[in-house]
Amino acid sequence: MKIISINAGSSSLKFRLFEMKDESVIASGLFERIGMDGSNFTIEYGKEKINQEVDLPDHKVAVSILLDKLVSLNIISSLNEIQGIGHRLVHGKDKYRDSVLITEEVIKDLEDFKEFAPLHNPANVLGIRAFQEALPEVPMVGVFDTAFHQTMNKETFLYPVPYSWYEKYGVRKYGFHGTSHRYIANMAKELLGKDEFRLISCHIGNGASLSAIKDGLCVDTTMGFTPLSGVMMGTRSGDIDPSIIPYVMEKEGMNVGEVMDELNKKSGLFGLSEFSSDMRDIIARCDEQDEKSWVARKKYVRRIVDYIASYYVLLGGVDMIVFTAGVGENSVPIRREICEALACLGVKIDLDLNNQRGKVTKISTEDSKILVYVIPTDEELMIARDTLKLIG
């Protein structure tokens, strides 16, 4: 059975086509700058890779070209081979605790919840509608980023603000990157060979979140009402004193939207370094003894270490720490610095093993009190698995 995983953004559409018999990737690709000048697509299959500039006025055209290319490039013999479509959906509030078959009710909820994810939920709906029109008979499944975190208890997901804000407006911690954290939890269960375990999943990239996971269920996570909170990220501030917002508004003559834009797009690594949101650039500048880059790098590590230490206590100890996503999978020095700061918890890593990239690797030493792994995440595979499970 062939299933296609879709991640539709406001101006992009990312896909991966799987043969579910062995979970192999048949093809993958990205359609970029949809509705903008300079739109293009990239498709990889086998040892081939094509990149082409093409007019993409909307998601409907992008989907049409995608499906046409899958057949014309002989990736599949006909569209009848695609038997399921899985969509990444960002925000399902607390209504959706698991993946679901997409119905008109689900689509309406995505539209009703758009104020919680204004950049993502409308784009997700565009992707769904485009595939509905192109492949109306193929069942579709929605996989929510927020679903995995709905096992948090009330004392964790509620904020210490007037309770009426939660009742009337849904003000609470929701959490994100849930599909990635769930994939890591499943991998940890396999590696440990048991159902009962305590795990800290560190999804750290340009966007970053950590999750405390017990026996496969989320206990707590760093992102909250929006993806802005938690650890410091590429361009996002993470946790700050909220009083800063009205203070800067007054000093700079900004409105709330302008300050929030700065916190989302001009803070984090980029804000402190005044140079780049990419950790590779920050590390290169550190090698040149750039002070702002050094401060940004140390602050990034410190925030992650703080949360790991907090989750260690919350879980009553930890069996495994996993690094995943862009920085987590690829930044050798950042992993080393985080683990060195956790030495008081008995964490020890092998520096040679820590040099590994791109594959599941145990980097902790035999005498480390906590197992430390690098595990490349695979959200698209989780989406395909959920799709297969639900369409039966």
Just list the catalytic residues: 145
What is the distance between the alpha carbons of residues 299 and 280, in angstroms, rounded to a whole number? 15
Which residues face 82 on adjacent strands? 2
What is the distance between the alpha carbons of residues 148 and 171, in angstroms, rounded to a whole number? 18
CB 115 within 8 A of CB 171: no
DSSP H helices, the chain, are 59-72, 104-112, 121-134, 154-157, 163-169, 178-192, 244-252, 256-265, 268-273, 279-287, 291-315, 325-330, 332-341, 379-391
What is the distance between the alpha carbons of residues 297 and 299, in angstroms, rounded to a whole number? 5
Judge residue 104's burial from the number of C-beta atoms within 10 Å of its C-beta, 0-12 exposed, 13-18 middle, 19 or more buried: exposed
Best CA proximity match to 6, nearest among 390, 392, 387, 375: 387
Which residues face 374 on adjacent strands? 323, 361
Main-chain phi, psi angles of 19, to 5 degrees: -95, 110
Q: With b meaning 16 or more CB within 10 Å and e meaning fewer, what string describes 208-221?
A: bbbbbbbebebbbb
Pairing mode of beta strands 2-8, 82-89: parallel
Cα–Cα distances in Å, from 341 out to 161, 279, 337, 345, 349?
33, 19, 6, 9, 12
- Give the sign of the dihedral formed by CA 350, CA 352, CA 356, CA 361: negative
Which residues face 127 on adjacent strands? none
Reading phi first (left if > 0) and then psi (alpha if -120 to 50, else beta), residue 26 is in: alpha
